């Protein structure tokens, strides 16, 4: 296979994989009408002792950057309909992954 064909195949594979890898971590399939306000998640986490630096929607999930009282600085993902913790990572190390 020549180099041009291999490059075209690699680009096609990357384009096709793009939506599935939107978050790099996981994807949530929650209808916008079923999503609780992100401010409510931030308030709940603050009650639990978190310091929330940033919260946003990523891959349909709520992604939070903050500081957990037990472990320090983390990146975490939550279900936007239930606020269930789905994934927590600290400096590339997975601390929690549902399932």
* CATH number of the structural domain spanning residue 40: 3.10.450
Domain membership of residue 4 (yes or no) is no
pLDDT per position as a tens digit, 74-89:
999 999 999 999 999 9
Q: Helix count (H) and strand count (E) of the chain?
A: 2, 5
Whether residue 11 is contained in a domain is answered as: no
Residue 15 lies in a domain: no
Which residues, in sequence order, are bridge partners of residue 96?
Answer: 88
Residue 3 counted as domain residue: no
Is there a contact between 98 and 85 (Cβ–Cβ < 8 Å)?
yes
Q: What distance in Å separates the CA atoms of residue 59 and residue 48, rounded to the nearest whole number?
A: 25
The whole-number pLDDT of residue 58 equals 95
**Is the residue at 43 inside a domain?**
yes
Q: DSSP letter at 34?
A: G
- pLDDT given at position 65: 98
**End-to-end Cα distance, the chain:** 41
Please give the Cα distance from 6 to 44 (Å, whole number). 49
Domain that holds residue 48: 25-97
Residue 39 domain flag: yes
Determine, yes or no, domain membership for 13: no
What's the whole-model pTM score?
Answer: 0.75
Q: Please state, in angstroms and as integers, the Cα–Cα distance from residue 59 to each residue in 5, 25, 62, 93, following that order.
A: 31, 9, 8, 20
Work out how many domains the chain is built from and give that number: 1
Residues 28-69 pLDDT 10s: 999 999 999 999 999 999 999 999 999 999 999 999 999 999
Of the pLDDT bands very low, low, confident and very high (cuts 50, 70, 90), residue 2 is: low
């Amino acid at each position: 296979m020549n180099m041009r064909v291999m490059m075209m195949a690699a680009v096609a594979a990357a384009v096709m994989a793009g939506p599935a890898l939107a978050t790099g971590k996981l994807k949530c399939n929650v209808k916008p009408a079923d999503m609780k306000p992100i401010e409510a998640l931030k308030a709940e986490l603050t009650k639990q002792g978190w310091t929330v630096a940033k919260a946003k929607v990523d891959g349909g999930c709520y992604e939070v950057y903050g500081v957990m009282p037990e472990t320090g600085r983390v990146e975490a993902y939550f279900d936007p309909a239930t606020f269930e913790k789905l994934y927590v990572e600290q400096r590339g190390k997975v601390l929690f992954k549902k399932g």
